[in-house]
Amino acid sequence: MHRHFGSPLVSRRDIVRAGSIGLFGMSLPRLLEAQTTARETAARIPTGKAKACILLFMWGGPGHQDTWDLKPDAPAEIRGEFQPIETTVPGIQICEHFPRLARQTDRLAIIRSMTHTDVNHLTATHYLLTGQPPPLGDDLRGDWPHIGSVLSRLGRGRGPLPPFVSMRPKLENTVPRFVEQSHGQFAGWLGATWDPLTIDANPALPDYRVGDFVPQPGLNEQRLARRQSLLRSVEGRLDRLDQSGSLGSMSRHYSRAFDLLSSAVGRSAFNLAEESDAMRDRYGRNPHGQSVLQARRLVERGVPLVTVFWPNDGIKNVSVYWDTHRKEFMDHRTRLMPPADQAFSTLLDDLSDRGMLDETLIVWTGEFGRTPKVGQRNSDAGAGRDGRDHWPNCFTSVMAGGGVRGGQVYGSSDRYAAYPDSNAVHPVNLVSTIYHQLGVPGDLELRDHLNRPFVICPGQPIQELVE
């Protein structure tokens, strides 16, 4: 029998009709709706081995044969320019430009047989963030929900922080279509209540701040206290209007907004200046490194899922994100692999030092890989003589922490890194493994706005990867 749970009981329009939403001048309460509506659900579904997940998403599609799955015996146009190096686990080799991660492979499960069929960045992303193929059309509200949105709907998280946060720094060369149009980033048919807090600010900048967690100008402590007093009177009126208590519950999101703005957690969660200079240096003084550090601070304070999207720090119209149609080897060697290596390896050590690695699942992936041959064409974009085109038929994802058995390679690609040779893994199985580790039942049903039930991720976890 499938487990199923209904949709939210109240809309924001109900609050407007009750006359309360204009009192506070903040957008934060909308972000807090997702934490209390389903408390009874959270009580019925215990957490799994992992209490939180940090999803490191390499927008653009890393070249698997140039990072995790090198083919040194293949012809030159296949193997490329890089050499494999030995790691701490005998028999496992990865790229020479991941030297720090090579010392951490005893913690890593490297899946070299990921596969799907979508060559488009915007829709392929949906596979990896939801486990499901993308729906037809451009409406993101028709998407399946992101893993973080499902956790939000299930009432996960503790304290005043939002249960689902996405870090996606917008830099000077950001390509809007990646940031704004990639599918699977949000709650989709679950509804906007369960969307993430999306942070587009660059955490590597000195003036980094998250605006939704800062009162509007002029909203000092005295005015905040007066509005809090007004809130208490509104709550009583809402309870009288709504005998079921759903509107009163909604108004208490505003109470929690006040709690967040006045609490130590609210003041410090996004203040990276509280970290030592040495720690910030360890993660890397760049947008990705500081985003990963921000993710650690959030899960440490009870946020169940943080997605860290790779920022576009490339050269406009030449190479963006990990989308290396040109300059595959130069970009991997210089601007891509070094900060990825530094941030991921530091996160593993940092979580371990804090006693958090066993309960924090880390997933490193892109939406697909790159073509077996340098210069090979497989999409409308094609590839230059020094680049690789999109290739979803075979690529690599990596898992660590949160009950994952490290020190192993699961699956294999063929001699050209073109197709899985053993143990093909589809995105639905990867996402099912994530849900399994987070304690989300495989038969869980959730309902959309039309009250239609859907099994949220109808795949099988990869049992060989988990404890």
- Is the pLDDT at 377 greater than 90? The verdict is yes
Contact residues for 220 (Cβ-Cβ < 8 A; gap 6+): none
Kindly report the average pLDDT of the chain as a whole number.
84
Tens of pLDDT, residues 104-129: 999 999 999 999 999 999 999 999 99
Cross-strand bridge partners of residue 67: none
For position 79, what pLDDT does the model report? 96
| 136-140, 141-145, 184-188: the lowest-pLDDT one | 136-140
Q: How many residues does the chain have?
A: 467
Q: Name the phi and psi angles at 413, rounded to 5.
A: -100, 165
At 172 the pLDDT is 83
Cα–Cα distance, 208 to 272 (Å, whole number)? 9
Q: What is the pLDDT of residues 339-356, one digit of tens each?
A: 999 999 999 999 999 999
Q: What is the pLDDT of residue 138?
A: 85
CA dihedral sign of residues 417, 413, 292, 141: positive
- 258: confidence class by pLDDT, cuts 50, 70, 90: low
Task: Read off the pLDDT of residues 436-463 as tens digits, 9 standing for 90 and up.
Answer: 999 999 999 999 988 999 999 999 999 9
pLDDT at residue 223 tops 70 = no
DSSP letter (8 states) at residue 336: I
Q: Among residues 341, 304, 340, which one has the least CA distance to residue 434?
A: 304
- For tokens 């595959």, name the residue: 328
Which domains are present in the chain? 38-210+270-465 (3.40.720.10)
Whether 266 shows a pLDDT value over 70: the answer reads no
**pLDDT (tens digit per residue) in 287-336:** 999 999 999 999 999 999 999 999 987 665 556 899 999 999 999 999 99
Interatomic CA distance for residues 191 and 146, integer angstroms:
11
**What is the average per-residue pLDDT within 353-377?**
98
109 contacts: CB under 8 Å, gap ≥ 6: 398, 399, 400, 404, 405, 406, 408, 409, 410, 465
Q: What is the mean pLDDT of residues 25-33?
A: 45
Lowest-confidence range among 108-112, 140-144, 261-265, 447-451? 261-265
Query: Quick one: tokens of 293?
Result: 């550090």
Give SS3 for 168.
coil
Residue 153: burial class (beta carbons within 10 Å; 0-12, 13-18, 19+): buried
Which residue has better confidence, 283 or 267? 283
Choose the most confident range, by mean pLDDT, from 10-14, 259-263, 385-389.
385-389
pLDDT of the residue at 268: 84
Whether pLDDT at 140 is above 60: yes
pTM of the model: 0.85
pLDDT range class, residue 59, cuts 50, 70, 90: very high
pLDDT given at position 175: 85
**pLDDT surpasses 90 at 25:** no
Higher pLDDT, 211 or 36: 211
Count CA atoms closer than 13 A to 39's CA, side-chain side: 7
Q: Is 420 helix (H, G, I), strand (E, B) or coil?
A: strand
Q: Specify the pLDDT at position 7.
A: 39
pLDDT value at residue 5 = 45
Does position 364 have pLDDT exceeding 70, yes or no? yes
Q: Are 68 and 93 in contact (CB under 8 A)?
A: no
- How many Cβ atoms sit within 10 Å of the Cβ of residue 91? 9
Sequential DSSP letters for 203-220: TTSTT---GGGSPPTT--
Task: Please determine, for residue 194, whether its predicted confidence score (pLDDT) is greater than 60.
Answer: yes
Report the alpha-carbon distance of residue 387 to residue 74 in Å, rounded.
17
Average pLDDT over residues 276-282: 98
The pLDDT-based confidence of 231 (bands split at 50, 70, 90) is low
pLDDT above 70 (res 408): yes
Q: Of the given ranges (97-111, 256-270, 389-403), which has the lowest mean pLDDT?
A: 256-270
Asked if residue 247 has pLDDT above 60, the reply is no
Helices (H) and strands (E) in the chain, counts: 16, 17
Question: Which positions ≥6 away from 317 have C-beta within 8 Å?
Answer: none
